[in-house]
Amino acid sequence: MNFRRYLYFGACFLSLAGCKTVGNNRSVSHSLSDRSSVDVVSDSAPKLALHDVSVLFPDDLDRGENYFLRPNSPGLGGELLPKSFVDGLPVNDNKIHMASFRIDPCFPRLEFLDSKPELCGAQVRLVFIPNISVIAHHAAYKLERATLEAMLKELAALGDHSDKGLAAPLGIHPKMAAEGIDGPTARAMRAIVLKYVGVANLIGLASLEFPQAPTEWQFVPRLYADGKFVEQTIPTLTTTRENFTHIKRSARVPGVTLPDPRNGFFVTGSSKVSRTESVKNPDTLALKTVLDDSLLMQATQEELDKAFSHIAKLDNPNMTHFDNTPCVSCHISSGIESETFLRRNIEMKDGPNRYQSFLNLTQTSKGLRRFPEIRNFSHSKAISQRTVNESAAVVEALIKHKYLK
């Protein structure tokens, strides 16, 4: 396998904020004492919380822009993002700041830690967002295992590992939520980022753009090498960009929109040269029942269960990976589930594709006042289910493979 091929977040760049699931939380989680589902944690194991591996800063721009890291902040070997890239952004989007970051011990698949460790590439991924726009950039930085272990030790030292902290859902880092963006924990977090990442170990960037905002989305993955970004082909597609157009779907709940079923259901892939090439996302067929409004309202429980099973697969990091899933598929899964609940009052059932963990997999919107989510599918801002599940999988992998000693 050519490892560098997968440095661009093939499936979804997964900013921490995403679509809120409506109704009761339907993800399977277990109490902290019920660890049989993962069989990786012992009572003597080091304590890690979700907020140790996926760190979300308070959404508090009112305190001033100086409390946030920016692309030109001095990191490892230089600024966090190349000045040439930032200078090329639209005028309204060039004041981007880092809103969150995540660590991953084995990209593109955590399972390689067990089966093919030589293919693992540890990463830190920073989420950059503008102050006013919904465009977003997810930058990846390569780390050696020893460096990741050192960074994780510093992150864990700032975490809340009380029973309450370990049992909490993924959200704003609890200490930063209590202290504010100008508090000691936030200052320490910013220093950790600048210590371990910068253009010296930047390897890729995935962007969510709006060429026909707000009715069209465009995902663009790029590899960074020799001082330049080069667009990369998206897995399962033949294009370097993935687009789709959406329309409003629910008069009862005006804030809800879903992709336009008249436009290839929801995805057209386009090359960077021409947008005449149309490539169907393979997940459209499995999700056709819940994407097409007329089919959704007439679908049987069996048909809906089949579609729900596919959504659960998209949200399951043990089944769906960066190298086998297009960008859009992960980003729309929670929105489809929410819309189906609102339109038909039918919830997803637990099944074999549903991700399970001893950690709390509940989605939360607490504190996400202005954080730009994929707002076209949302009723309010919340952490996406895929991000919650991936964070739990990372915690389990880090404990199992003794990254924190």
Indicate the length of the chain as a whole number. Answer: 405
Select, from the ranges 2-6, 66-70, 113-117, 371-375, the one with the highest average predicted confidence (pLDDT). 113-117
Q: Which two tokens stand for residue 181?
A: 């963006």
Say which amino acid occupies 188: A
Q: Is residue 86 pLDDT above 70, yes or no?
A: yes
How far apart are alpha carbons 382 and 66 in whole angstroms? Answer: 25
pLDDT tens digits along 288-338: 787 776 788 888 989 989 989 999 999 999 999 888 888 878 777 777 777
Please calculate the CA angle 183-169-62 and round it to the nearest 5 degrees: 35
Arithmetic mean of pLDDT, 176-197: 96
Which pLDDT value is given to residue 115?
A: 95
Closest CA to 142 of 126, 122, 120: 122
Is 258 or 391 the better-scoring residue by pLDDT? Answer: 391
pLDDT tens digits along 212-236: 655 567 888 999 999 999 999 888 8
Q: Is residue 112 pLDDT above 90, yes or no?
A: yes
Arithmetic mean of pLDDT, 113-120: 94
Helix (H, G, I), strand (E, B) or coil at 222: strand
Is 343 or 329 the better-scoring residue by pLDDT? Answer: 329
> Could you tell me the pLDDT band of residue 40, with boundaries at 50, 70 and 90?
very low
Q: Which two tokens stand for residue 398?
A: 């880090």
Percentage of the chain modeled with pLDDT above 70: 69
Q: Write down the domain spans for the chain.
A: 3-400
> Could you tell me the pLDDT band of residue 257, with boundaries at 50, 70 and 90?
very low
How far apart are alpha carbons 320 and 313 in whole angstroms? Answer: 6
Which pLDDT value is given to residue 363?
A: 83
Which pLDDT value is given to residue 130?
A: 78
> Could you tell me the pLDDT band of residue 146, with boundaries at 50, 70 and 90?
very high
Q: What does each C-alpha distance from 114 to 69, 109, 148, 302 come to in angstroms?
A: 35, 10, 18, 36
Which pLDDT value is given to residue 11?
A: 37
